Structure 1
Amino acid sequence: MLTWQLLTFDQLSNNALYDLIKLRIDIFVVEQDCPYPELDNKDRLPGVNHLLGYEGDTLVACARLLPAGVSFDGVSIGRVAMAMSQRGSGLGHRLMAEALSQCERLWPGEAIEIGAQEHLQGFYGQHGFKTFSEVYLEDGIPHVDMRRVAR
């Protein structure tokens, strides 16, 4: 059974922090063969929340929810990741639905922006995001900026 936790940096236990960083590095650095500064000092900023999805005691999904002005002018979601073992299970859509719900609870009436890998535009489009930038390279990977207007 999948359970969700929404925690600030200070609320993360040592084990939760380790699992979060490991999952993100496993996906963004190792799987995508992309050495980049995973620890960017945004994780511990005031107002930043970490959404953690657990299957039992195992962290299988995560996303970082950021207030306006941290990554974009508006509220944003970043570091969206899920364990390889969960791919194709629909967990990605459940993760985004939960992230959007939490953003709407934390920052009602705000648009949400993301920097999405270009090949995931269709996925994020299913959650109401529309592309508003040209393709750009971030850490050698094509990205686009996308926005979901407030509902």
Structure 2
Amino acid sequence: MNWKLKKFTDLKLEEIYNILQLRNEVFIVEQECAFQDCDGKDQDAYHLFLEDNSNVVACLRILKKGVSYDQVSIGRVVVSKNYRGKSIARKMMLKAIDFIRQNLNETEIKIQAQSYLFDFYGSLGFKKVSEEYLEDNIPHIDMLYKR
């Protein structure tokens, strides 16, 4: 398995397709949530993803300050169903946090977390900064990481 971190413009067409395929597989089909995944923010993002035999099995995107929030943000965090329970999401988030701190020189990261993942993100240092709300009929909470 191979980790990659690329700006949108550096992604190969096949990588873009595989990232979108995984996001649609989980967010739209598995979670039965009709929403606009291609929101125009991918072009301004860094994409961190894990490949296994050229298949994207986990990914997230990192958005610079001002794209979604006043802080840098991490979103579209997803792991393929067959790869869950192997700490891939934790490793991926730690890689993203490290990249943001080391390469973007940022100390705050905001996320919009699905509420059932509150403890997971909390274990990485994120703190609750909003009340629970519905986003696309799924309970969410805003969380902030400060270092």
For this structure pair, what is the TM-score category when the shorter chain's length is used for normalisation? over 0.9
Distance 2:7 2:89 in 1: 22
- Where does 1:10-49 land on structure 2 (aligned, <5 Å)? 10-45=9-44, 48-49=45-46
Q: Structure 1: which 5+ runs fail to align?
A: none
Aligned to 2:8: 9
Asked if residue 61 in structure 1 is aligned to residue 80 in structure 2, the reply is: no
Counterpart of 1:88, as a letter, is G
Question: 104, 123, 128: which one pairs with 1:126?
Answer: 123
Counterpart of 1:77, as a letter, is I
Aligned to 2:146: 149
TM-score, reference length from structure 2: 0.96
How many aligned positions are there?
Answer: 147
Cα distance per residue 1:7-63 (max 9 Å; x no partner): 111111110000000000001100100000000000012xx2001111232211101
CA RMSD between the two structures: 1.0
Asked if residue 75 in structure 1 is aligned to residue 72 in structure 2, the reply is: yes
Asked if residue 139 in structure 1 is aligned to residue 136 in structure 2, the reply is: yes
- Percent sequence identity over aligned pairs: 39
Q: Structure 2: which 5+ runs fail to align?
A: none
Distance 1:17 1:149, change over 3 A: same
Distance 2:69 2:133 in 1: 15
Asked if residue 115 in structure 1 is aligned to residue 87 in structure 2, the reply is: no
Counterpart of 2:8, as a letter, is F
